[in-house]
Structures are given as structure tokens and as C-alpha cells.
Structure 1
Amino acid sequence: MTGGTVAILITFIVVGGVSGAAIAYFALQRHRADAVAMAGYRKLAEEAVAGQEALRAQLAAVNARVVEVENLLRSVDA
């Protein structure tokens, strides 16, 4: 091999290594951003579940009151 060929090979190896490192770095940054977004979605989902549970509790209380009113109306009719 001539000196020029060796120099070109070394240049390609160095450029390939730098390119690979840059690609890996940006892939890692994208993964970190996705992880932050997923944490936000997870928090939003937990808040939605908590809100649904509170709404179910309120609905159960309203249902109990409606049953009491129905019983009261039935006792008045009888």
C-alpha cells in the first residue's frame, strides 16, 4: 500500500468513528427527551385515574341519595 492509500483509510476510519459517535449522541438525546415526555404522560394518566376515582365516589353518594329519596316517595305513596 502506498502512503496515500493509508492516509485515506485512516481518514475514513476517523470520520466514520466521529460520525458514529455523533449519531449515538443524538440518539441518546432523543431517547432522553422521549423519557421526559413519557414521564409527563404517566403523571397525566395518574391524575386522570385519581379524578375518575373521585368522580365514582361522588356518583356513588348521589346514587345512595337517590335511592333514599325513592324509598321516601314509596313510603309516602303507601
Structure 2
Amino acid sequence: MTGAVLTIAIVLITVGGIAASVVSYFQLQRHRSDAVAMAEFRKLAEQAVANQEALRRELDEIRARLTAVEDLLRSVG
């Protein structure tokens, strides 16, 4: 009786360890894929910020030109 209980306990511990290892492995894989997605998102966000800054510079340039045209029109009229 004691031998059967000991055998069952050893098998259960072994199966539990294997199951915990498999679950841990798949959680690690999911974490890695999340990290890759976050890196791509960060890159996309940096590109969006760069594009926004370029648009802001262009808008400032257009605003300066518009101000110059308004001043010219005021001086003529």
C-alpha cells in the first residue's frame, strides 16, 4: 500500500512539474510576442511624432508666408 501511494505521489509531482514547465514556456512565448509588438508600436509612435513635428514646421512656414502676404496686401491697399 505504501509503495503504491509513494509511486502515485512521485508520478503526480513529475506530471505537475512538467505541466508547470509547459505553462511557463507558453507564457514566456506570449510575453516575447507582446514585447515584439510593443517595440513595433514604439517605433510607429516615434515615426508619428517625427511626422507631426515636420507638419508643425511646415505649418509655421505657411503661417509666416501668409503673414507676409497679409502685410503686403495691407501696404498696397
Query: Which segments of structure 1 move beyond 3 Å, counting only runs of 4 or more?
Result: none
Partner of 1:21: 21
Aligned partner of 2:41: which letter?
Answer: Y
Partner of 1:67: 67
Query: Which sections of structure 2, spanning at least 5 residues, go unmatched?
Result: none
Q: 1:14-53 maps to which residues of 2 (within 5 A)? A: 14-53=14-53
**C-alpha root-mean-square deviation of aligned residues, in Å?**
0.7
Identity, in percent, stands at 58
TM-score, length-normalised on structure 2? 0.98
Aligned length: 77
Q: Provide, for residues 2-58 of structure 1, a one-character-per-residue CA deviation record: whole Å limited to 9, x for no partner.
A: 111100000000000000111111100000000000000000000000000000000
Q: State how far apart, in whole Å, the 2-side matches of 1:2 and 1:47 are.
A: 67
Query: Which sections of structure 1, spanning at least 5 residues, go unmatched?
Result: none
Q: State how far apart, in whole Å, the 2-side matches of 1:4 and 1:45 are.
A: 61
Q: 1:4-15 maps to which residues of 2 (within 5 A)? A: 4-15=4-15
TM-score, length-normalised on structure 1? 0.96
